[in-house]
Amino acid sequence: MKRAAITIGMVFATLALAGCKQDMDEQPKLLPLSGAAAFDKGQAARPLPEGTVARNEAVDPAEAMAAPTVDAALVQRGRERYEIFCSPCHGFSGYGDGMIVKRGFPAPPSFHSERLRQTPASHVVDVIANGYGVMYSYGDRVAPRDRWAIAAYVRALQLSQAGEPQPEAMP
């Protein structure tokens, strides 16, 4: 009995000591401003890749809210961004029937409702940036110019679904 107690005590002591190992603190690493012979110029701090933008980079509010000129390239960019960020909820046609809705989440409003047809493009940009209702903010995910591109594409979706087909225009 005494032998079993000693064995159990040793097992617990071994487990307790194994939990004190500081692998994460004692790993080999380079401090950002230290030297490193393995890299060019002997610096551990690596230069940022071309086009890198800091997460909290200041954006001029006037520039962010200035609507760009709408052209085919902007609408195409809006379509690409819409399909990535918006279609999971709003659907590819903007009727609020995206894949997320089919999985049981609340449906967003259709872009083809009269209320949303009458709102200015700046409202769409603001909702993308700040969220609305159950929609969370995409301000940190979508650049200001891309918000305007998405708003232009939403307008194109609304116009594409706006009218009744004209029989005389059909072949």
Q: Domain ranges in the chain?
A: 109-162
Least confident of 45-54, 81-90, 91-100, 155-164: 45-54
Structure-model confidence comparison of residues 50 and 118, the more confident one: 118
Least confident of 26-30, 60-64, 81-85, 158-162: 60-64
pLDDT attached to residue 43: 75
Domain 109-162 has CATH 3.40.190.10: no
Residue 92: which of 157, 141, 151, 138 has the closest Cα? 157
Place of tokens 């379509």: 79
Mean pLDDT of 136-142: 90
d(Cα 116, Cα 154) in Å, to the nearest integer? 10
